[in-house]
A and B are shown apart, each in its own frame.
With several copies, the nearest count.
Chain A
Amino acid sequence: MKKLINDPKAVVDESVEGFGLAHADLVVVHTDPLFVTRKVAKAGKVGLLSGGGSGHEPLHAGYVGFGMLDAAVPGAVFTSPTPDAIIAASVAADSGAGVVHIVKNYTGDVLNFETAAEMAQADGIEVRTVLVNDDVAVEDSLYTAGRRGVGGTVLVEKIAGAAAERGDDLDAVAAIGQRVNDNVRTMGVALSACTVPHAGVPSFELAENEIEIGIGIHGEPGRHKIPMEDANGITDRLLEPILADLAPVTGDKVLLFVNGMGGTPASELYIVYRHAAKVLRDAGLVVERSLVGNYITALEMQGCSISVLRLDEEMTELWDAPVLAPALRWGM
């Protein structure tokens, strides 16, 4: 394992410390428990909080700032944070109007956030939870832990963040977050595995000509392995279940999000974007907005995910609203 790290056990602490130093104009890093808050809080605004295992950078701390998150709680690598940190961050994010927790649907995240929400509520903080579960690679049935939260999380955080910033109340912010989740579908592919620092070995094995379809963002194996294909073929494979499940109709406006898993060059993401845009156009959809880059990653994994969000006018407006966070910035 070759990584730019010191002690594998200190990876998250040191990385978040460096992040805080580099973006001292925008964020404040709190330690023990570890969480990140917006430098300039806005009184009376609904607080937006997210968190989860580390290793998905810039998610979530990179989205703390004006128009997006008020607080982010990074756990150990690929491990949900603990309730005490979530509670402390909720207290910091609450200015009286309540806090929305954006939680990716994994057993660990759900259990820890559930506990934290209960305890925060007991302390008088109103909490609403938006559970993100956009991953069409996983069957959503009684016999699984349900669909995972993946790429759609970034879109939920941006759009709900803009709603909170414009002054929506607690239920309204949660409702728009939920609406984004209901309208977004994601599917991913890995060309290589990633190596968790404390494990020191790649999280799964892939032969030289194999890829893993339906991958999540934790180095967990995906739906199945297939022989390597070209970018257009892979793009088709990712979009097919997305469109089958989202079932858009001709003329629907969508946001197309091609996300890098951390180890894939931008040039390759644009090659995927190119074909995906064509497929959506051919399906009668209008690609109104786009996002291409490393926004929710799995350490240095090579691969990408595609998310398609069906937009309505309000979502588009909130997407376009100014945002000023370390990893997403426009309009100011």
Chain B
Amino acid sequence: MTDSSLDTAWAVDWLRRSAAVVSENRMALIELDRAIGDGDHGENLDRGFSAILEKLDSEPPLTPAATFKLAAMTLMSKVGGAAGPLYGTAFLRMGTAMGEAVEIDSALLAAGLAAARDGVVARGKAEVGDKTMIDAWTPAVDAAISAADAGASPAAVLAAAAAAAESGAVATDPLIAHKGRASYLGERAIGHRDPGAASSAMILRAAAQAGGASA
């Protein structure tokens, strides 16, 4: 791995850091989901990412794409609810976008993140402003593409994506939800952060930390 590319170790580290941050924030995500959903988001993701850790130990993947496909299959079969298929699709599409590459440069990284986001949109049909994880992913992808176009390193691309995702998550606070369970609440969802946007920001921050740590 060089300054200008990320490798399988990064992908694995990303997942491990995601597992750690989700586990640490399990209760916080439950609380967010309790307010405008059914209170299981933290539990569901924690179950899924714990299972990923076990899989990473028992069948270490050989490429970034294989790493993300392992994550996708595990999330799909362990998480359930809305987040399982959505995160599952995100990681699956990212893996597919990365093909056989073992070194991920900034352009491929941005393309991978865009494919992940497009996968979530394809499954969930949410638009920006619907108060879903898309409100974190779309600004993250936009920032990643801009950074990559401007010649930034993969680590910088990830840092830009994470920061944008965090702002995007915060920006869901004043919204009415149009998708997912929070949409049943109408105006009562106002003032609450979308749990999926919050977890997406955490996971993208984990990607940046893995990128920075190994850069």
Decide if A and B touch, CB cutoff 8 A. Answer: yes
Let me know if A107 and B179 touch, CB within 8 A: yes
- Least Cβ–Cβ distance between B38 and chain A, in angstroms: 4
**B80: contacting residue among A76, A204, A216, CB under 8 A:** A76
**A148 interface hit (Cβ, 8 Å):** yes
Q: Is A166 an interface residue (CB 8 A)?
A: no
Given contacts A111-B86, A216-B184, are A204 and B76 in contact (CB under 8 A)? no
Q: Nearest chain B CB to A65's CB is how many angstroms away?
A: 25
* Residue A77 at the chain B interface, CB threshold 8 Å: yes
The smallest C-beta distance from A96 to any residue of chain B, in angstroms, reads 27
Which of A112, A114, A223 has the most B CB atoms < 10 Å from its CB? Answer: A112
Q: Does chain A have a CB within 8 A of B183?
A: yes
Stretch of B40-48, B102-110, B162-170, B206-214 that contacts chain A: B40-48
- B101 lies within 8 A of chain A by Cβ: no
Complex contact A111–B82 (CB within 8 A):
yes
Q: Which of A222-262 contact B (CB under 8 A)?
A: 223-224
On chain A, the number of residues with a Cβ less than 8 Å from chain B's Cβ atoms is 42
Contact at B43–A198, with CB atoms within 8 Å? yes
Q: Are B40 and A76 in contact (CB under 8 A)?
A: yes
Cβ contact of B178, chosen from A78, A80, A144, cutoff 8 A: A144
> Which residues does chain B contribute within 8 Å of A139, judged by CB atoms?
186
Contact call B76/A199, Cβ cutoff below 8 A: no
* Pair A78/B76 contact, Cβ less than 8 Å: no
B185 CB–A CB distance under 8 Å: yes
* CB of B126 to closest CB in A, whole Å: 9
A220 touches B80 (CB 8 A): no
CB closest chain-B residue, reference A219: B38
The answer to whether B40 and A198 have CB atoms under 8 Å apart is: yes
CA distance A199 to B79 in the complex (A): 16
**A201 interfacial by beta-carbon distance below 8 Å:** yes
Do the beta carbons of A107 and B77 come within 8 Å of each other?
no
Chain A residue numbers with a CB within 8 Å of B43 are 76, 79, 196, 198-199
Pair B39/A112 contact, Cβ less than 8 Å? no
Do A108 and B178 have beta carbons less than 8 Å apart?
Answer: no
Q: Are A108 and B39 in contact (CB under 8 A)?
A: no
Enumerate chain B residues within 8 angstroms of A196, measured Cβ to Cβ: 38-40, 43
User: Which residues from chain A contact B39 at a C-beta distance below 8 Å?
Assistant: 78, 196, 199, 203, 219
A145 adjacent to chain B (CB < 8 Å):
yes
The answer to whether B80 and A80 have CB atoms under 8 Å apart is yes
A106 within 8 A of B: yes
Tell me which residues from 193 to 229 in chain A have a Cβ below 8 Å from any Cβ of chain B: 196, 198-199, 201, 203-204, 216, 218-221, 223-224
Nearest Cβ distance between residue A37 and chain B, in whole angstroms? 20
Residues of B contacting A198 in the complex (Cβ-Cβ under 8 angstroms) = 30, 40, 43
- Asked if B181 contacts A115 (CB within 8 A), the reply is no
Are B81 and A80 neighbours in the complex by a CB distance under 8 Å?
A: yes
Residues B84 and A108 in contact, CB atoms below 8 Å apart: yes
Given contact pairs A79-B44, A145-B179, A108 touches B81 in the complex (Cβ within 8 A): yes
In the complex, the answer to whether A82 meets B77 with C-beta atoms within 8 Å is yes
Residues of chain B within 8 A of A203, CB atoms compared: 34, 38-39
> A113-146 interface mask toward B, CB cutoff 8 Å, 1 = contact, 0 = none?
0110000000000000000000001110011110
Could you tell me which B residues sit within 8 Å of A by CB distance?
Answer: 30, 34, 36-40, 43-44, 47, 76-86, 123-124, 176, 178-181, 183-186, 188
**Chain A interface (Cβ < 8 Å from any Cβ of B):** 9, 33, 53, 75-85, 106-108, 111-112, 114-115, 137-139, 142-145, 148, 196, 198-199, 201, 203-204, 216, 218-221, 223-224
Complex A-B, nearest 3 residue pairs according to Cβ-Cβ distance, in ascending order: A108-B81, A111-B85, A218-B38
Other contacts beyond A76-B47, A79-B40, A106-B82: 13, CB < 8 A = A75-B81, A78-B38, A79-B79, A84-B77, A85-B77, A106-B181, A107-B82, A107-B181, A111-B85, A111-B123, A220-B36, A223-B184, A224-B188
A-B contacts, 5 listed (Cβ < 8 Å): A33-B77, A79-B81, A82-B79, A108-B80, A219-B39
